[in-house]
Amino acid sequence: MNFNTILEEILIKRSQQKKKTSPLNYKERLFVLTKSMLTYYEGRAEVVHDANTLYIFAPSPQSRDLWVKKLKEEIKNNNNIMIKYHPKFWTDGSYQCCRQTEKLAPGCEKYNLFESSIRKALPPAPETKKRRPPPPIPLEEDNSEEIVVAMYDFQATEGHDLRLERGQEYLILEKNDVHWWRARDKYGNEGYIPSNYVTGKKSNNLDQYEWYCRNMNRSKAEQLLRSEDKEGGFMVRDSSQPGLYTVSLYTKFGGEGSSGFRHYHIKETTTSPKKYYLAEKHAFGSIPEIIEYHKHNAAGLVTRLRYPVSVKGKNAPTTAGFSYEKWEINPSELTFMRELGSGLFGVVRLGKWRAQYKVAIKAIREGAMCEEDFIEEAKVMMKLTHPKLVQLYGVCTQQKPIYIVTEFMERGCLLNFLRQRQGHFSRDVLLSMCQDVCEGMEYLERNSFIHRDLAARNCLVSEAGVVKVSDFGMARYVLDDQYTSSSGAKFPVKWCPPEVFNYSRFSSKSDVWSFGVLMWEVFTEGRMPFEKYTNYEVVTMVTRGHRLYQPKLASNYVYEVMLRCWQEKPEGRPSFEDLLRTIDELVECEETFGR
């Protein structure tokens, strides 16, 4: 090999995102081009990739042209050169140009690699024939300005953060991380903001309006409207029918025997241009115009839309960590308050971070878990953020015991929540709980993350009654006999399928089995599955085909979903994507016919 240096310069390398949850960032590296290879250095270590896609940015157009020219000269005699390339970046698990999901997928657009380096420019030809124009140069990025509107207030916690004020506009500068974007406010201040706190400024984007609640089913809408208890309280939410919207309205004067709730579908005209209406005589060009009109005129509704009811401004969503690239938390910033309970890992306490943000703090009992393995995994787990997952904010690893800092959920674990309120749940509320959990699990499945210990005890309930999945992935680090089989594998026996009993094979499909048991827990309002049997007896019974009985509160359709989850072979069970679609349909039936 020839190691004589042709070019050497500090360039900017984009991270390769080998995992879906890997961070997207840009770092300076020393690049060296020789006759044999292109390498870069991380500190003293030399990095050479055999087969991968690497995005490199030069500090100036002149530098870029020089590198491209030299690279073309060195590879012009190579026999193994691809004739197609991807004109757009690999982002969020696919190429943005052709949507292929394999990182090493062949290119989608032809490119004459050597046209500019080995051919001299020809003189202009006479205008005798109409010539085809040259193909456009592929654009690496969309350079148009992106303006967003803040849906929630955000207080900057680190020097590199930017404060958000609800309703204000911000210019996006960088999207190097899926959860934290760099932005500029109207005063010229710049910093990082949580991406889930803002929405695009577009006339047809409903997220910017206070009255819009994206992920809100009928049951939760009624709970929220009832809690506000204001005449004319309303919200606009996604309908159970995809692509449509529903106005949910509360009135105290609905007549004797009335529930006080009305749900109106926003209808569309068949004319062009399309218009929207609640009352046919009053059609408008957009949904915001409808809402503005009915704020002042009932026009066929039971009452005017007087008071927008929303979770915006009250329950801001969680963020992936407290700040950009912050996962290690200084324990001196934590205030410990009352004990919330104790689990496999140790005591859990209510606390505050920097005396203002309520958090749950788990003090890990020494010897309770494999700490070193968990610390590495925690960095990945922090990147998993979803409205139906309990957010991991960070860890304290520089002392003993280790602390795990998570989102605080006011109503505690789902199991206790069910048991303490037995006899007070309607079927649609119980089904809504299962829907919440399924949404969180579908997100984990989509990101190739296995829970391993899904059960009602490992789900938590917010003040608004939202159920969120907690402790995902934690079972791998448990050092407790309750979770250990004779072969040394760790699993909660009464929630596990045969392949886990027999071979310790965990997968999303073993999580699906556990979800079926969780549904059974929900519809029995917190009973213990197989309560009269030992773990050994449960293994024998399940292996022989025995399944949990149908709960009294579960309809035949709901129990059928449970039985699908308990198919003996993993391939016979539905995915969480399929389950969510089924449960959404059941919720729709409950909304349509269950009243």
Rg (CA), the chain: 28
Residue 24 and residue 326 in contact, taking contact as beta carbons nearer than 8 Å: no
Q: Per-residue b/e over 312-349, b at no fewer than 16 CB within 10 Å?
A: beeebbbbbbbbbbbbebeeebbeeeeebeebbbbbbb
CB–CB of 125/84 below 8 Å? Answer: no
DSSP class of 78:
-
Q: Are strands 459-461 and 403-407 parallel, antiparallel or unpaired?
A: unpaired
Pick left, alpha or beta for residue 93 (phi over 0 → left; psi -120 to 50 → alpha; otherwise beta). Answer: left
Q: Give the whole-angstrom CA distance, residue 416 versus residue 154.
A: 32
- Say if residue 362 carries a ligand binding annotation: yes
Taking Cα atoms as reference points, which of 527, 499, 593 lies closest to residue 555?
593
Catalytic site residue from 453, 471, 481, 578: 453
Contact assessment for residue 251 and residue 302, using Cβ atoms and an 8 Å cutoff? yes
User: Which of these, 225, 265, 259, lies nearest to 241 by C-alpha position?
Assistant: 265
Q: How far apart are CA 244 and CA 10, in angstroms?
A: 52
Active site residue 453: yes
Contact 25, 54 (CB under 8 A): no
| C-beta of residue 225 within 8 angstroms of C-beta of residue 248 | yes
563, 574 contact by CB (below 8 A): no
Looking up tokens 């969780």, which residue turns up? 518
What is the distance between the alpha carbons of residues 573 and 416, in angstroms, rounded to a whole number? 29
Q: How many CA atoms lie within 13 A of 389 on its CB side?
A: 23
| CA pair distance 320, 323, nearest whole angstrom | 8
DSSP string, 53-70: ---EE-SSHHHHHHHHHH
Residues whose CB is less than 8 angstroms from the CB of residue 94 and which lie 6 or more positions away in sequence, other chains included: 100, 101
Closest residue by Cα to residue 525 from 401, 593, 438, 424: 424
Beta carbons within 8 Å of 318's beta carbon, 6+ residues apart: 385, 391, 393, 407
How far apart are alpha carbons 417 and 370 in whole angstroms?
30
- Binding-site residue numbers for ATP are 362
Q: Mind telling me the catalytic residues?
A: 453
- Binding-site residue numbers are 362
